[in-house]
Amino acid sequence: MTGFVAGGIIDFGGFNLNPSWTVALPLGAVFFGLFLISFMLEKEMAGFDEEEAIKLKLAERNTPAPAPRQEPFGQTTGIQFKEMAPVHDR
* Residues 63 and 37: beta-carbon distance below 8 Å: no
How do the domains of the chain map onto residue ranges? 1-12+22-49
Instruction: In whole angstroms, give the CA distance from residue 4 to residue 24.
Output: 7
The pLDDT, as a whole number, for residue 68 is: 75
The pLDDT, as a whole number, for residue 51 is: 94
The pLDDT, as a whole number, for residue 81 is: 56
Per-residue pLDDT of the chain (90 residues; tens, 9 = 90+): 677 677 777 767 777 777 777 776 787 788 888 999 999 999 999 999 999 999 989 888 877 767 777 766 656 555 555 555 555 655
The pLDDT, as a whole number, for residue 71 is: 67
Q: What single string gives the DSSP state of each residue in 26-82?
A: HHHHHHHHHHHHHHHTHHHHHHHHHHHHHHHHHHHHHSPPPPPPPPPPSS--S----
